[in-house]
């Protein structure tokens, strides 16, 4: 068969595989081979481990003093609370719209999650935060799906009460707020290298801070036993002081994962700009439907999305269920957070919480908010196919 025949317009174009990750760059292979040959999978086996190099590179990229590579973003959040020395029973405000691992990390640290309402734009409701913050000892701002809450207002509220802000920036790598990098605004920023995030190591995470005391405590508790903190290139004095004073939770990253992330760092700017282009392109098409609203970015926010969220308006619950089913058949599975069974982002499923919360605004949002993957690697032609599928499925259920 000639190439022309293969490329003929009649040839069916495959629907993009939106649920697959992007391949790991070729550049990772030599380093992975080297690590396999030496067997140096543990970060403290050698000097200059890929984990330490990742920490240096990540801190430099973010413009902060310190980074600590760990086994997940959840581990980073847990260590943040421990590093801040929050006592057992301390109350930590989080948005009611986040992933179950976030309140879990608070429970893990013997603290109590305080759920705050989120609005139809997926962001923290400032009036509800204002109402609850006086009972809280810390805030974890989870920028869920990369939607940045109003950081000026939140930082001002926290500063007025002298309580620390931790940014859960798992889905916000590359997002800017007023020109500043998300994850650098709070006392500590936490990121994820799980496969559905912009840098994919399968599993992994990193925490960043400018505070020597916090990073020293977090390094020790992440599992830098004996004098292994010397293999971190940071704050010897503070680490030496905390040596043997803190428990070791062993939440380290392994060197293969660090090598995978390091190879993807040069890809990050492209992923961020292509992801934003794809998101804004599909958002504009979806917003032509009278049944769909895609919330805008906040004026100070420059997003780095790899998925799209939108609200369905004027549809019954049955129609919304039918819509989710129709999108699945079309190959772009939309999840409606509040309608899919056991959803880990629906707060009423977090039955492990020590205190339960009623959040009517968040609940209403979760019942109509749709979530679809939109990877940065898609071309605009593929984005059109995704937008067509999302709009056609809507046509079917509203006909």
Ligand X SMILES: *Cc1c(COP(=O)(O)O)cnc(C)c1O
> Cα–Cα distances in Å, from 185 out to 70, 129, 164?
20, 18, 11
Which two tokens mark 131?
A: 């109402």
- Cβ nearer to ligand X, comparing 194 with 289: 194
DSSP conformational letter for 202: B
- Cβ nearer to ligand X, comparing 16 with 305: 305
Which two tokens mark 242?
A: 């905390």
Q: Give the residue, chosen from 52, 73, 90, 114, that forms a contact with ligand X under the rule CB under 6 A.
A: 73
Q: Are the C-beta atoms of 98 and 343 separated by less than 8 Å?
A: no
Q: Are the C-beta atoms of 358 and 256 separated by less than 8 Å?
A: no
- Cβ nearer to ligand X, comparing 86 with 94: 94
Q: Does 332 sit near ligand X (CB under 6 A)?
A: no
- Cβ nearer to ligand X, comparing 20 with 284: 20
What minimum distance in Å lies between the beta carbon of 308 and ligand X?
15
Q: Are the C-beta atoms of 129 and 175 separated by less than 8 Å?
A: no
Interface of this chain with ligand X, residues 160 to 189, rule: CB under 6 A: 168, 170-171
- Cβ nearer to ligand X, comparing 199 with 292: 199
Q: Does 99 sit near ligand X (CB under 6 A)?
A: yes
Q: Are the C-beta atoms of 137 and 113 separated by less than 8 Å?
A: no
Q: Does 69 sit near ligand X (CB under 6 A)?
A: no
How many binding residues for ligand X (CB under 6 A)? 15
What minimum distance in Å lies between the beta carbon of 78 and ligand X?
9
Helices then strands, counting H and E runs in the chain, come out as 14, 14
**What is the greatest pairwise CA distance in the chain?**
72
What minimum distance in Å lies between the beta carbon of 366 and ligand X?
15
Q: Give the residue, chosen from 142, 254, 278, 311, that forms a contact with ligand X under the rule CB under 6 A.
A: 142
The piece of 26-34, 94-102, 273-281, 342-350 that touches ligand X (CB under 6 A) is 94-102
Interface of this chain with ligand X, residues 194 to 213, rule: CB under 6 A: 194, 205
Q: Looking up tokens 């392994």, which residue turns up? A: 254
Q: What does R_g of the chain's alpha carbons equal in angstroms?
A: 22
Query: Helix, strand, or coil here: 381?
Result: helix
Q: Does 101 sit near ligand X (CB under 6 A)?
A: yes
What minimum distance in Å lies between the beta carbon of 95 and ligand X?
9
- Cβ nearer to ligand X, comparing 73 with 185: 73
- Cβ nearer to ligand X, comparing 142 with 311: 142
Q: Does 366 sit near ligand X (CB under 6 A)?
A: no
The piece of 71-79, 149-157, 225-233, 305-313 that touches ligand X (CB under 6 A) is 71-79
- Cβ nearer to ligand X, comparing 106 with 298: 106
Which two tokens mark 372?
A: 């679809």
Q: In whole angstroms, what is the distance from residue 283 CA to residue 239 CA?
A: 48
Which among 337, 359, 381 is positioned nearest to 144, based on CA atoms?
Answer: 337
Q: In whole angstroms, what is the distance from residue 132 CA to residue 144 CA?
A: 20
Q: Give the residue, chosen from 49, 72, 257, 368, that forms a contact with ligand X under the rule CB under 6 A.
A: 72
Phi, psi of 71 (to 5 degrees): -80, -15
Q: Give the residue, chosen from 192, 255, 278, 289, that forms a contact with ligand X under the rule CB under 6 A.
A: 192
Those residues with Cβ within 8 angstroms of residue 396's Cβ, 6 or more apart along the chain or in another chain: 322, 326
Q: Residues interacting with ligand X, by CB under 6 A?
A: 72-74, 98-99, 101-102, 142, 144, 168, 170-171, 192, 194, 205
């Amino acid at each position: 068969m000639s190439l022309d025949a293969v490329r003929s317009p009649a040839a069916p174009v495959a629907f993009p595989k939106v649920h697959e990750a992007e391949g790991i760059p070729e550049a990772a292979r030599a380093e992975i081979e080297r690590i396999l040959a030496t067997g140096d999978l543990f970060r403290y086996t050698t000097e200059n481990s890929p984990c330490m190099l990742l920490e240096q590179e990540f801190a430099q990229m973010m413009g902060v003093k310190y980074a600590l590579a760990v086994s997940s973003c959840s581990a980073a959040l847990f260590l943040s609370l421990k590093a801040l020395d929050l006592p057992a029973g301390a109350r930590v405000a989080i948005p009611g719209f986040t992933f179950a691992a976030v309140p879990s990390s608070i429970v893990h640290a013997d603290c109590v999650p305080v759920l705050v309402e989120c609005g139809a734009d997926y962001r923290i409701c400032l009036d509800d935060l204002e109402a609850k913050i006086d009972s809280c000892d810390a805030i974890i701002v989870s920028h869920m799906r990369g939607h940045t809450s109003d950081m000026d207002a939140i930082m001002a509220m926290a500063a007025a009460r002298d309580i620390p802000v931790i940014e859960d920036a798992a889905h916000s790598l590359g997002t800017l707020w007023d020109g500043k990098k998300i994850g650098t605004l709070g006392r500590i920023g936490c990121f994820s290298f799980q496969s559905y995030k912009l840098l994919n190591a399968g599993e992994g995470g990193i925490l960043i801070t400018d505070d020597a005391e916090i990073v020293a405590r977090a390094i020790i508790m992440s599992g830098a036993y004996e004098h292994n903190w010397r293999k971190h290139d940071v704050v010897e004095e503070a680490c030496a002081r905390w040596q043997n004073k803190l428990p070791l939770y062993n939440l380290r990253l392994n060197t293969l994962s660090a090598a995978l992330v390091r190879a993807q760092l040069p890809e990050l700017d492209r992923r961020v700009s292509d992801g934003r282009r794809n998101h804004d392109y599909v958002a504009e098409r979806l917003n032509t439907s009278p049944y769909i609203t895609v919330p805008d970015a906040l004026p100070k926010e420059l997003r780095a999305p790899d998925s799209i969220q939108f609200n369905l308006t004027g549809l019954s619950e049955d129609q919304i269920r039918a819509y989710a089913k129709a999108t699945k058949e079309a190959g772009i599975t939309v999840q409606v957070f509040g309608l899919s069974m056991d959803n880990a982002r629906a707060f009423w499923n977090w039955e492990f919480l020590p205190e339960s919360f009623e959040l009517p605004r968040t609940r209403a949002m979760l019942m109509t908010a749709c979530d679809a993957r939109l990877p940065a690697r898609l071309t605009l032609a593929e984005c059109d196919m995704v937008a067509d599928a999302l709009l056609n499925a809507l046509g079917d259920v509203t006909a």
